[in-house]
Amino acid sequence: MATGASATEEPEDEEEEEEDYSFLPLVHHIIKSMDKDSQDVHQELNELKNKFQEMRRLIGTMPGIDRSPEQQQQQLQSLREQVRTKNQLLQKYKNLCMLEIPKE
Amino acid sequence: MAASDKCSTKEKLLAFLDDLEVLTRELIEMLALSRNQKLPQPGEENQVLELLIQQDGEFQELMKLAFDQGKVHHEMQLLEKEVEKRDSDIQQLQKQLKEAEHILATAVYQAKEKLKSIEKARKGAISSEEIIKYAHRISASNAVCAPLTWVPGDPRRPYPTDLEMRSGLLGQMSNLPSNGVNGHLPGDALAAGRLPDVLTPQYPWQSSDVSVNMLPPNHSNDFMLEPPGHNKENEDDVEVMSTDSSSSSSDSD
């Protein structure tokens, strides 16, 4: 379903996603600040807390994750099957010879 | 494993998030404690850190899966729209087929009725000669159609005049009063078909013969419109009417 243009943008997005959604960089900064006894540790702890909240909000708004991948695949197959069946039915209706005039 | 498969991705993500939060808090607390007490406990910290890294990695994988599911969700939405469109197409087609069925059923019914009437007509066939004779009889008096040269303002027929109505069978039966209102003619004379010469309408386009033919003494019988029979009397009538018709048509020329 993805177009060529979006396919070229995908790897970049994924990289960005990986950076954005990992908590390790923040934890690393906190540990470093603690090692240095820096005052920035409180600010970084707040950042970590905000990040957890932000992630919870994001997960709440993400589409299509209300079911497991298996269930989603089943529903996708079911929808594809429905479209296929309905297409066949329409084709059948269109090809019906409604008026067969008997030749004498 | 089966139970985890049934969980939605959202639930898994939130669970991972809770775990990560607990692990980071635990790690930071442990580090803080170890810094304050100056007691190095690298083994436990490392365990927590490794667990945190592992959970974080799994969380990343799950986030990728969630984004993939978002794409699948988009595809499903498109498919749902397509299904709705197909449904409306099918409903439209079914509606049209129902209409066509109704029209065809009506046409078939009408055709059957027509065939029945054709069959009925075949069984009770009447000779064309008989019909022509009857047509002559009813048309000779101009009782059913106007003279060919009739135009608006012409005092002749197309409709039966007061005079003719009174001289017909209905006029006789109704026993109209002898003193006509608004200058109507005396009923007796009209009923008998005998008019005084003064009251007989004389039109410039009529010869005296024609006017007599229009109101013959037995004129009242012309309005009876009996079905055609085979008796001699009727045939005579037809001949008289034919003569009348031909005379009037010759007049119109």
Give the distance between the most distant pair of CA atoms in chain A: 105
Among A18-32, A64-78, B35-49, B235-249, where is mean pLDDT lowest?
B235-249
Q: How far apart are CA B39 and CA B145, in angstroms?
A: 131
Judged by DSSP in three states, A56 sits in: helix
- Please report whether residue A92 resides in a domain: yes
Q: How many CB atoms lie within 10 A of CB B46?
A: 10
Same structural domain, A45 and A74: no
The ipTM value here is: 0.75
- In this predicted structure, the answer to whether residue B232 has a pLDDT above a threshold of 50 is no
Residue A79 at interface with chain B, using a CB cutoff of 8 Å: yes
Output the pLDDT for position B119.
93
Same structural domain, A74 and A58: no
Residue ranges covered by each domain of chain B: 9-124
Element at A55 (helix H, strand E): helix A40-61
Same structural domain, A25 and A56: yes
Q: How many domains does chain A have?
A: 2
User: Which amino acid would we find at residue B197?
Assistant: D
Residue scoring higher pLDDT (B21 or A6)? B21
Q: What mean pLDDT comes out for the span B89-118?
A: 93
Output the pLDDT for position B173.
80
- Please report whether residue A8 resides in a domain: no
CB–CB contact A68 B6 (8 Å): yes
Residue A7 at interface with chain B, using a CB cutoff of 8 Å: no
Contacts of A76 in chain B (CB under 8 A): 72, 75-76, 79
The position carrying tokens 């078909």 is: B193
- Please report whether residue A26 resides in a domain: yes
Cα A15 to chain centroid distance, Å, stands at 15
- In this predicted structure, the answer to whether residue B234 has a pLDDT above a threshold of 60 is no
Output the pLDDT for position A12.
47
Q: What mean pLDDT comes out for the span B56-76?
A: 94
Confidence category of residue A36, pLDDT binned at 50, 70, 90: confident
Q: Which of A7, A25, A59, A4 is nearest to B67 (CA)?
A: A59
Percent of chain B with pLDDT over 70: 59
Q: How far apart are CA B153 and CA B144, in angstroms?
A: 18
Residue scoring higher pLDDT (B144 or A67)? A67
Output the pLDDT for position B135.
81
Most B CBs within 10 Å: which of A15, A23, A31, A80, as the mutation test of the B interface? A23
Structure tokens at B227: 């079905």
- Please report whether residue A93 resides in a domain: yes
- What tens digit of pLDDT does each residue of B31-57 get? 888 877 766 566 788 889 999 999 999
Among B105-109, B123-127, B199-203, where is mean pLDDT lowest?
B199-203
Residue scoring higher pLDDT (B63 or B207)? B63
Q: Answer yes or no: are the C-beta atoms of B220 and B226 closer than 8 Å.
A: no
- Look over chain A and give the mean of its residue pLDDT values, rounded to a whole number: 80
Residue B5 has its nearest CB partner, among A1, A34, A68, at A68
From B152's Cα to the closest Cα of chain A, the distance in A is: 52
Q: Answer yes or no: are the C-beta atoms of A89 and B89 closer than 8 Å.
A: no
- Please report whether residue A15 resides in a domain: no
Q: How far apart are CA A45 and CA A51, in angstroms?
A: 10
Output the pLDDT for position B134.
80
What is the domain extent for residue A76?
Answer: 68-103
Output the pLDDT for position B82.
94
Residue scoring higher pLDDT (B20 or B205)? B20
- In this predicted structure, the answer to whether residue B199 has a pLDDT above a threshold of 70 is no
The position carrying tokens 């003719």 is: B164
Contacts of A15 in chain B (CB under 8 A): none
From A89's Cα to the closest Cα of chain B, the distance in A is: 8
Output the pLDDT for position B182.
44
- What tens digit of pLDDT does each residue of B140-197 get? 766 666 777 778 777 666 666 677 677 777 777 876 554 444 444 444 444 444 444 4
- Please report whether residue A27 resides in a domain: yes
Residue scoring higher pLDDT (B77 or A96)? B77
- Please report whether residue A9 resides in a domain: no
Residue A20 at interface with chain B, using a CB cutoff of 8 Å: no
Dihedral sign for Cα atoms in the order A18, A20, A21, A23: positive
String of DSSP letters for chain B: -HHHHHS-HHHHHHHHHHHHHHHHHHHHHHHHHHHHHT---HHHHHHHHHHHHHHHHHHHHHHHHHHHHHHHHHHHHHHHHHHHHHHHHHHHHHHHHHHHHHHHHHHHHHHHHHHHHHHHHHHT---HHHHHHHHHHHHTTTSSS--TT--TT-SS-SS--HHHHHHSHHHHHHT--SS-GGGPPPHHHHHTT---TTTS---TT--HHHHHHHS-TTGGGGGG-PPP-SSHHHHHHHHHHHHHHHHHHHHH-
Residue scoring higher pLDDT (B197 or A40)? A40
Residue of chain B whose Cα is closest to the Cα of A59: B10
Contacts of B87 in chain A (CB under 8 A): 86
What does the radius of gyration of chain B's CA atoms come to, in whole angstroms?
53
- Please report whether residue A2 resides in a domain: no
Same structural domain, A49 and A30: yes
String of DSSP letters for B104-146: HHHHHHHHHHHHHHHHHHHHT---HHHHHHHHHHHHTTTSSS-
